[in-house]
Amino acid sequence: MYSNLINGLSALRSVEGVLYLLGGSVLGVVFGVIPGLSGAVVLSIILAFIYHISLTGTIILFLAVLAASYYSASVTSILLNTPAHPEAFAVTFDGFPMAQRGEAGRALGISATATCIGGLVGCAILVGFIQIVNYLPTVFHPPEFIALVLISLLLVGTLGTDRVSKALVSAGIGIMLSSIGTDPVTAVQRFTFNTVGLIGGISIIGLVLGLFAIPQMVLIFGTATTIARQDMMGNEVAASQAVELEKGFGKQIIQGMGEAMAHPIALLRSGIIGAVTGIIPGIGGFAANFLSYGIAQQTSKKRELFGTGIPEGIIAPEGSSLSKEAGGMIPIIGLGIPGSIGGALFLAALVVKGVKVGYGFTAQYPSLPYEMMWVIALSGIIGTAIGLLASPWLAKVTRVPGPLLVPIIMVLTAIGPFISDVAFFSVVETVVFGFVGFLLRRLRYSLAAFAIGLVLGPTLEDNIYLTHQVFPGWSFLHRTLADVLFAIAILILVLKVVQIRSDQRKANPPIDEEDPVKRAQIEAERFEKQNPYPQLAFFSSLAVFAFCLAFTIYAKTNYLWNSALFPVLGGLMATLGSGFRVPVDARAYLHFLKLRKERRRTHVAVEPVEEFDPKTGKLKLPVIKDKEWGWNGTYTRETFGLMMYTLLVGAMYVFGFLVTIPVFVAVYGVFATRRVYPGIAKRLVFAGVSAVIMWGATYEMLNLLHLTFFPMVKL
């Protein structure tokens, strides 16, 4: 153990290791603070470029960005009451009230110290569990592994969704798509349809960028604000007025750090809770912070003061945030099962680098788990230090207009898959998954279950095949541990259904209103809140059901049983889930048509009123209308954003990267930034500077990586 611990640290002592550690920490801090660019978006973009980075550099860069982003995400929670990560939501309960009292520095100091100390506690627990991780594969055989994957898919997939059936559909489609390509067991090509780009399967890079990065940019373009109106879970995001930093900010930070250190029991407890919950796939992440906060509140003598801005209310969730990432490494390296979106993306990075986690991982890479531990610990310290020193500037970064980021991120997501796979087909896949990811986000399906289903697909298929061969029929259910795990999976499924229905009943208590008109109005408002997109949901569920059914039938009728077993199982899961959704969404759609008919009958047209800015005397830009069509409606703008990205990729195919990218950025800067820069002069400057920078960056990336792309039209 001692030698591996030292060897893991020695990898960080090289110039390459130090640069990746510092660079990743800075990236995590800067981009982690921007609500529009969540950790999943940044990691998905980095994932596209790791093909040309060493394995050690990949691990350091990836985990450094992930670990360093947690404190900076709390900056927006404390100063804006807007979490940059879902995990940073719980700190708003006490962090924002403390900042409103003029103690923002104190709150940030407590948050930084708790995040850093909690991360170190989690790393210590990680070192302890590394000693027994070799024994996990001897306990979990193929049937048990299948049950563990089901548990992970259910726990992670149902976070943020409003229906369990949506998680099943998401996971099922991910499994279905993972079967595309060459069968690892029989070497038969499945669902390739003589397309060379599909022989190797679906591009993980294209899928990740399409699911996480593109929808986020489209949503930001739709609202023309810094903050997207939906987070990664599909929940609505609301922003508050930013808290201004008071004089004596630095002294407040030092005071907050001292206060956090004065609560050692709270720090240790939250770190342990975060690490332990992180070990259990699907429990860590969003739930760990709330669990730590709830336990701290129930065991505190100041229980009634929680939510008013007390140190314990900040220490509890922050101490578990980074700690659960350290704990989340255990199921990844021991079983190959991620417990969160960040874990799924890290596992995807290991898959891209050809690293097989699970059985034999620590034997083949004895010092690698310790290297992961050192990266999390050091980047947590570095990221927290940078975040504290740069807090005044980070507060300003949160006000960077989102529309200025859109063209840069869109260009990176378009060129990234080509740089990674050296195939333009991967860029096309990114466009397809961009539409799919946007649809899933809008309808609150599980992006995490979709991604995990695809990433774990090949390994899951191997275990299903082994189970089928070694334990014929239903004999695999005669194993005690497998029976227990499958029972837990069923119990989780039942409990999730009960929990979701209970939450809906609490959110919709009986209506006491006696006036039939007002009662109908309340019912209509509740319906719109529960079914924000009834038309889209109904036609999408029909299309998904037809696709999944056709996929299953095609697999069953065109491939031998050994090749058809896995895609059929995934297809059945998605078909059953979408089949359940069809009548539910149909009933909601019919109710929507009825409400729309009644509204048209009672609608009174209102003439639009032109508004002028009293300072300039000029006509104001029309207000963007949320959830509406029309020239300034978010639906129209989002549709245009998707079309804009599609045109960008099409132009790249025709004219090449070096011509298309500067032209796209320049045209966008001139015509799509009016809400940021009303004057044409500033827009021209932004367009010209950004076009030159992006052209230079593209040229250097292609040149350094010795990549060449021949467009259809050579200019």
**pLDDT one-digit tens code per residue, 253-265:** 888 888 889 888 9
Tell me the per-residue pLDDT of 271-315, one tens digit each, with 9 for 90 and over.
Answer: 898 888 777 765 555 567 777 887 788 778 877 788 788 888 889
Question: Considering 464, 496, 519, which residue would you say is the last residue of a domain?
Answer: 464
Evaluated on CA atoms 402, 405, 407, 409, the torsion sign reads negative
* pLDDT of 328 above 50: yes
Greater confidence (7 vs 713) lies with 7
Alpha helices in 390-479 (DSSP H): 391-397, 402-421, 424-442, 447-455, 457-470
pLDDT interval class at 606 (50, 70, 90): very low
Identify whether the C-beta of residue 281 lies closer than 8 Å to the C-beta of residue 156. Answer: yes
For residues 239-244, give the mean pLDDT: 52
Q: CA 347 to CA 370: how far, in whole Å?
A: 16
148 has a pLDDT exceeding 90: no
Q: What is the pLDDT of residue 318?
A: 87
Structure confidence at residue 619 as a pLDDT band (50, 70, 90): very low
Range from 321-325, 400-404, 558-562, 702-706 carrying the lowest mean pLDDT: 702-706
Asked if residue 454 lies in contact with residue 202, where contact means CB atoms within 8 angstroms, the answer is yes
Domain presence at residue 423: yes
Is 564 in contact with 192 (CB distance < 8 Å)?
Answer: no
Which is nearest to 544 in space by CA: 518, 581, 489, 583?
581
Q: Which residue has the higher pLDDT, 414 or 71?
A: 414
Q: Which residue has the tokens 């030292």?
A: 6
pLDDT value for 715 = 38
Question: Which residue's structure tokens are 């950004």?
Answer: 690
* φ, ψ (nearest 5 deg) of residue 605: -70, 140
Q: How far apart are CA 38 and CA 31, in angstroms?
A: 7
Max mean pLDDT among 58-72, 586-600, 624-638, 644-658 falls in 644-658
The answer to whether the beta carbons of residues 249 and 105 sit under 8 Å apart is: yes
Instruction: Give domain status of residue 22, yes or no.
Output: yes
Q: How far apart are CA 489 and CA 471, in angstroms?
A: 20
pLDDT band at 34; cut points 50, 70, 90: low
Note whether residue 141 is domain-resident: yes
Number of domains present in the structure of the chain: 2
Per-residue pLDDT tens for 355-375? 887 767 777 888 888 888 998
Please give the C-alpha separations between residue 624 and each of 32, 400, 620, 680, in angstroms, as whole numbers.
27, 19, 12, 21
Give start and end residues of each alpha helix (H) in 471-623.
480-507, 516-530, 534-558, 561-602
Q: Identify the band that residue 690 occupies on the pLDDT scale cut at 50, 70 and 90.
A: very high
Average pLDDT over every residue of 68-91: 72
Task: Show which of 464, 482, 511 is a domain's final residue.
Answer: 464
pLDDT of 678 > 80? The answer is: yes
The residue-averaged pLDDT of 693-704 equals 83
pLDDT for 643 equals 94
Rg of the chain over Cα atoms, rounded to whole angstroms, equals 26
Rounded Cα distance between 486 and 467, Å, is: 14
pLDDT given for residue 568 in this prediction: 92
Closest to 59 in 3D by CA, of 427, 360, 367: 367
Rounded to the nearest 10 degrees, how much is the dihedral formed by the CA atoms of 408, 410, 413, 415?
Answer: -70
Neighbours of 326 (CB within 10 A): 32
Q: Distance between CA atoms of 427 and 414, rounded to whole angstroms?
A: 6
Q: Where are the alpha helices (DSSP H) in 11-54?
A: 15-32, 39-47
423: containing domain: 2-231+242-464
Model confidence pLDDT, tens digit, residues 642-669: 999 999 999 999 998 899 999 999 999 9
Angle CA 345–273–498, to nearest 5: 75
Q: How many other C-beta atoms can be found within 10 angstroms of the C-beta atom of residue 191?
A: 19
Please determine, for residue 617, whether its predicted confidence score (pLDDT) is greater than 50. Answer: no
Q: Give the Cα-Cα-Cα angle 111, 91, 450 (nearest 5 degrees).
A: 115
Residue 40 has pLDDT above 50, yes or no: yes
Instruction: Determine the Cα–Cα distance for residues 99 and 106; give it in Å rounded to an integer.
Output: 8
With respect to residue 157, please indicate whether it lies within any of the assigned structural domains.
yes
How far is it, in rounded angstroms, from Cα 226 to Cα 216?
Answer: 11
Look at residue 536 and give its three-state secondary structure: helix
In a domain, 473, yes or no: no
Q: What is the dihedral of CA 632, 86, 445, 276, to 10 degrees?
A: 180
Residue 441 is predicted with a pLDDT of 83
Give domain status of residue 713, yes or no.
no
Say if residue 146's pLDDT is above 70.
yes
DSSP string, 539-578: HHHHHHHHHHHHHHHHHHHHS-HHHHHHHHHHHHHHHHHH
What is the predicted pLDDT for the residue at 450? 85
pLDDT at 689: 93
Give percent of the chain above pLDDT 70.
83
CA 332 to chain centre: 17
* Residue 167 forms part of a structural domain: yes
Given a cut of 70, whether residue 240 has pLDDT beyond it is no
Work out the number of other CB atoms within 10 angstroms of the CB of residue 392.
11
- 81 Rama class: left (phi>0) / alpha (psi -120 to 50) / beta: left
Local confidence band at 614 (pLDDT 50, 70, 90 cut-offs):
very low
**Other C-beta atoms within 10 Å of 6: how many?**
11
- Kindly indicate the confidence band of residue 549, based on its pLDDT and cuts at 50, 70 and 90: very high
pLDDT of residue 583: 93
Q: Which of these three, 439, 464, 489, is where a domain ends?
A: 464
Q: Report the alpha-carbon distance of residue 43 to residue 346 in Å, rounded.
A: 8
Most confident of 78-87, 189-198, 706-715: 189-198
Q: Rounded to the nearest 5 degrees, what angle is found at the Cα of 241, between the Cα atoms of 240 and 245?
A: 125
**Average of pLDDT values for 135-141?**
69
Compute the average pLDDT of residues 476-490. 81
pTM of this prediction exceeds 0.85: no
Across all residues in the chain, what is the average pLDDT? 80
In terms of Cα–Cα distance, which of 459, 470, 433, 486 is closest to 649?
A: 433
Confirm whether 555 is domain-assigned. Answer: no
Tokens 């700190």: give the residue.
91
Is the pLDDT at 608 greater than 50? The verdict is: no
